[in-house]
Amino acid sequence: MEKYLALLPEKPQPAWVRYGATLVIVLFNSLLQMAVYSYTGLSAFFLLLPGIFACGIMFDRGSAVLATLVCTLLDIYLVPLGKDPKDFVFLAFFVGVGVATAVVSEGLRKVLEQLSAANAAKDVLLRELEHRTKNNMAIMSSLLHFQARASSHRETQAALKAASARIRVMADLHNFLRPSENKHLVSMDAYLRELFDKMEEFQRPSSVTMSLNAEQIDLPESAALSVAIVINELVTNSLKYAFPNGVGTISVKLWKNGELSLEVKDDGIGCRDDAAPGTGSRLVEAMARQLNGSVKREGGPGCRTLLKMPAP
């Protein structure tokens, strides 16, 4: 649809511009028709009708009617009217087709203008909806965070803080959406940097070092959100359990080499293979399935989780 809307001028053109452009278009088509006529003797003048149609689409009915008049004069010049009634019938037929083409092109132009206006209104509404959604989610995240601070129960605090962080991940995504070919893309390096800054602000102890190395990769909105949720869960898990002495390092790396890879690694006490999966672990597995990927966790010194998924 966008390629047809692009035919319309961005704003109404002055009359002299419309009519001047009309004469240029007609002249071009006339030269083509004269070349065909001189070479073949064919006088159907079929090459003049696209010019009439183009003038009606790009400008208005008056331009298309002017094009029809000029083409009719050219027709009379190249094939002078004689005594044969067929000449008049042919000329009348050409004029009728030209006027009909002008009317049809004018109607189609109005439809395209209405579609263009509706498309612009839709974009405005979608941007407003995204803005309000982002603000509402940010408010929800803040409320949950404040409620967690007000609670005296540790498990309740942890659950509320986790819910607040997950909502914040979704809210921040709206800052980095970029329309592209009927879908939204997210620049992952900028988005993950914003995510990391928020995690350092709300969760990271001062003695834990966090590093991020993300390539400049654009992902669709749903995939970007899934990757961000995985990072949030894994980094949060490391912050909660990997460093009983409160000192350590967490690194996150995102790169593309045939497939998309995400690595979250810490140098803490390591992973327990027999640990019962919690909400975060189940959420990571669910996001991996949504991305058609696989998750591998390795223990030893520290803990390393590797998520591999098809590249977009």
Tell me, yes or no, whether 17 and 69 share the same domain: yes
Tokens representing 51? 């010019």
Report the CATH number at residue 269: 3.30.565.10
Residues 302 and 201 in one domain: yes
Examine the fold and report which residue of 100, 118, 136 is the final residue of a domain before the chain moves on.
Answer: 118
Asked if residue 84 belongs to a domain, the reply is yes
Q: How many CB atoms lie within 10 A of CB 139?
A: 12
pLDDT at 253: 93
pLDDT band, very low/low/confident/very high, at 65 (cuts 50, 70, 90):
confident
Q: Quick one: which of 26, 89, 87 has its CA closest to 54?
A: 26
| Higher-scoring residue by pLDDT: 302, 39 | 302
The residue behind tokens 């002299």 is 16
Specify whether the CB–CB gap between 105 and 64 falls below 8 A: yes
Residues 156 and 273 placed together within one structural domain of the fold = yes
Please tell me the distance from the alpha carbon of residue 168 to that of residue 166, in angstroms, as a whole number. 5
Domain shared by 291 and 178, yes or no: yes
Same domain, yes or no: 85 and 187: no
Question: How many residues are given for the chain?
Answer: 312
Q: Encode pLDDT of 243-293 as tens digits.
A: 888 788 999 999 998 899 999 999 888 876 666 667 778 888 888 998 899
Mean pLDDT of 46-55: 73
Does residue 241 share a domain with residue 108? no
User: End-to-end alpha-carbon separation of the chain, Å?
Assistant: 25
Domain that holds residue 167: 151-310
Query: What's the number of domains the chain is made of?
Result: 2
**Greater model confidence, 46 or 69:** 69
Residue 292 falls within a domain, yes or no? Answer: yes
pLDDT at 57 > cutoff 50: yes
Whether residue 41 is predicted with pLDDT greater than 70 in this model: the reply is no
Residue 127 within a domain: no
What confidence score (pLDDT) does residue 252 get? Answer: 92
The answer to whether residues 197 and 288 belong to one domain is yes
- Give the model's pLDDT for residue 5: 45
pLDDT in tens, 127-174: 776 667 767 767 777 777 777 777 777 777 777 777 777 777 777 777
Does some domain include residue 226?
yes
Structure tokens at 216: 């400049």
* Mean pLDDT, rounded, of the chain: 77
Q: What is the pLDDT of residues 142-155, one digit of tens each?
A: 777 777 777 777 77
pTM: 0.59
Task: Indicate if 103 and 223 belong to the same structural domain.
Answer: no
Same domain, 103 and 18: yes
Residue 66 lies in a domain: yes
